[in-house]
């Protein structure tokens, strides 16, 4: 299949707004009226609870995973072409033409493309564990996401990953940062940790 077709199909796969579709078909709700107004799995969770929320997150993950996995395993694409196919579903989700280019924040789709490229290996674990660590110590979700992606980029640099992977991560980080730009408020530590830090000043 021509590279351009793969990129377009990958973009369109990522652009399908499953969270909005689930909200309308099964919940009779516009999930963009909940939480931060984002058409993503987190707001499906807020609108209906964990069951539909997890389904929406899984669909957003898989719509990015499948085209990239196919491109990485079933085709002999050069690295630059694979990079284009891989970033396409993230861009599609973030700037969905089905939603007048007002898409979601591309977190689940980001994990989808990296799982397709890496599998459950050190790089993906570094990203996930770093994000989880920042979820635990502070309250701004946007920073947790970006710190995880930043950790992945550092991992790729330290391990001399192929250039296309480093460029892909940088592009991915740029899209995710842009979509989270309004949420990047000063970091607020969790109360217990903040108390410990304040107390340590007297030690």
pLDDT above 70 coverage of the chain, percent: 94
- Contacts for 184 with CB less than 8 Å, ≥ 6 apart: 140, 142, 143, 146, 177
Predicted structure pTM score? 0.90
Q: What is the residue-level pLDDT of the chain in tens, covering all 203 positions?
A: 689 999 999 999 999 999 999 999 998 999 998 888 889 998 999 888 999 999 999 999 999 999 999 999 987 889 999 999 999 999 999 999 999 999 999 999 999 999 999 887 888 999 999 999 999 999 999 999 999 999 999 999 999 999 999 999 999 999 999 999 999 999 888 887 666 666 655 44
169 closest CA partner among 86, 101, 99, 97: 86
What's the pLDDT tens digit per position in 56-79? Answer: 999 999 999 999 999 999 878 899
What's the pLDDT tens digit per position in 158-167? Answer: 999 999 999 9
């Amino acid at each position: 299949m021509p590279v351009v077709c793969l990129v377009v199909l990958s973009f369109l796969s990522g652009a399908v707004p499953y969270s909005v579709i689930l909200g309308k078909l099964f919940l009779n709700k516009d999930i963009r009226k909940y939480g931060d107004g984002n058409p993503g799995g987190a707001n499906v969770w807020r609108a209906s609870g964990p069951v539909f929320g997890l389904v929406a997150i899984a669909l957003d993950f898989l719509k990015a995973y499948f085209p990239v996995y196919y491109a990485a395993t079933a085709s002999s694409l050069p690295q630059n072409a694979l990079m284009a196919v891989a970033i396409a579903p993230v861009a599609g989700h973030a700037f969905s033409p089905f939603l007048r280019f007002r898409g979601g924040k591309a977190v689940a789709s980001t994990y989808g493309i990296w799982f397709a490229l890496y599998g459950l290996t050190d790089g993906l674990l570094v990203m996930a564990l770093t994000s989880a660590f920042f979820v635990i110590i502070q309250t701004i979700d946007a920073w947790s996401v970006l710190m995880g992606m930043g950790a992945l980029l550092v991992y790729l640099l330290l391990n001399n990953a192929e250039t296309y992977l480093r460029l892909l991560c940088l592009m991915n980080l740029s899209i995710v940062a842009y979509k989270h730009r309004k949420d990047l408020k000063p970091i607020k530590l969790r109360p217990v940790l903040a108390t410990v830090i304040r107390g340590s000043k007297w030690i």
